[in-house]
Amino acid sequence: MAGASSHLKPLVTHIYTADPSAHVFNNRVYIYPSHDRETDIQDNDNGDQYDMVDYHVFSMDTIGSEVTDHGVVLRQEDIPWVSKQLWAPDAAYKDGKYYLYFPARDKEGVFRLGVAVGDKPEGPFTPDPEPIPESYSIDPACLVDDDGQAYLYFGGLWGGQLQCWQTGEYKAEAYTDMEPKGTVPAIRPRVAKLSDDMRTFVGGIQEAAIVDDKGELIIADDHDRRFFEAAWVHKYNGKYYFSYSTGDTHYLCYAIGDSPLGPFTYAGRILEPVEGWTTHHSIAEVHGKWYLFHHDSSLSGKNHLRCVKVRELVYDAEGKLHLAD
Ligand code: FUB
């Protein structure tokens, strides 16, 4: 089992990994991370330095046990619509198939979401030849609810281009504004229901509201609480926990709702800033305990060369989340 300070250690050190999406499939823990790589591209607010070209899958019996690297399961060169930047992925299981969701820039430089399908949780995954119709921005995260309905959450500001889609159409000129300012509502994360075959949206894309304890939308200037990227939804005691990164203030926060579509009421921070600019995570129950999977830059000291770590989480009597160690 994990030792007292095992959360300080990267899960793997032979490659750089980030944005871990963790799931238990067939009683085994699977992690779907980004695969960071060396580049000469200088750090910028666009995230150009995150120049990834493939995905690996990792698995282990349980937290603290030996990690298996299943190797490359999807390559940029095998996805016809992609030009660059395979960013944070997620995976889901439904009706005998495994689905790998991923963001990447299309040939026009616009971030879209793709899906690739496999027969096993460790892949390999065969990508659909086109991105998911209507999809945009980054960081897809999939929740398959208890009734079998699947939801895809997504969106990310700045280099993730969510600010370009405020009218429902891509406005390239909004790219450099980065995001609204002042007391107007902050840009909201997106959610869409997935079709039974998990490859298209049904019913359109909705904005998921994150509200304060008075029910007011979080405002644009509230960078300590507004959504930036890294959406993740898990279910606990019948409630939907929407967690996310605040980007430039470097927190992982969460909000709780009664519906998978929101609204979600802000509930606090899960993680204070760690080493490195980005923070991105997932939350999963593994053999009766809950864990936070996240990354930092401690392995390299460089923002774009990150490493995945895992920490235990506990709930208090009110359902609030806390780090266990
Ligand atoms: O890994 C590339 C990007 O950095 C992700 O898509 C964001 O969430 C941030 O972690």
* Tens-place pLDDT, residues 259-300: 999 999 999 999 999 999 999 999 999 999 999 999 999 999
What's the rounded mean pLDDT across residues 188-211? 98
pLDDT at 58 exceeding the cut of 50? yes
pLDDT of residue 6: 65
CA distance 140 to 234: 14
Cα gap 264→208, rounded to integer Å: 8
pLDDT of the residue at 8 = 85
- Is it the case that residue 2 has pLDDT exceeding 50? no
Distance from residue 18's CA to the centre of ligand 1 (Å): 8
Name which residue leads in pLDDT, 5 or 118: 118
pLDDT value at 137 more than 60: yes
* Cα–Cα separations (whole angstroms), residue 164 to 53, 141, 228: 24, 20, 14
- Give the DSSP letter of residue 160: G
> Quick one: residue 216, left, alpha or beta (phi over 0 = left, psi -120 to 50 = alpha)?
beta
Give the residue ranges of DSSP H helices in 101-232: none
Q: How far away, in angstroms, is 307 Cα from ligand 1 center?
A: 12
What distance in angstroms lies between residue 271's CA and the mean position of ligand 1's atoms?
Answer: 16
Look at residue 46 and give its three-state secondary structure. Answer: coil
Q: How far is 112 from 298, CA to CA, in rounded Å?
A: 30
Q: Does residue 34's CB lie within 6 angstroms of at least one atom of ligand 1?
A: yes
> For residue 190, how far is the Cα from the chain centroid?
12
pLDDT of residue 235: 98
- Cβ proximity of 22 and 293 under 8 Å: yes
Q: Exposed/middle/buried for 13, CB within 10 Å: 0-12, 13-18, 19+?
A: exposed
Could you report the per-residue pLDDT of 163-188, keeping only the tens digit for each?
A: 999 999 999 888 778 899 999 999 99
**Tokens found for residue 173:** 């000129």
Question: Which residue, by CA, sits nearest to atom 4 of ligand 1?
Answer: 278
What is the share, in percent, of the chain residues with pLDDT greater than 90?
A: 95
Residues in the chain: 325
Question: What type of residue sits at position 53?
Answer: V
Q: What is the mean pLDDT of the segment spanning 227-244?
A: 98
- Mutation test residue for ligand 1: of 229, 244, 307, the one with most atoms within 8 Å of CB: 229
What are the two backbone dihedrals, phi and then psi, of residue 162, each rounded to the nearest 5 degrees?
A: -60, -30
Mutational test site, ligand 1, from 46, 136, 138, max ligand atoms within 8 Å of CB:
138
CA separation, residue 115 to residues 47, 55, 82, 150, 282 (Å) = 22, 13, 12, 14, 19
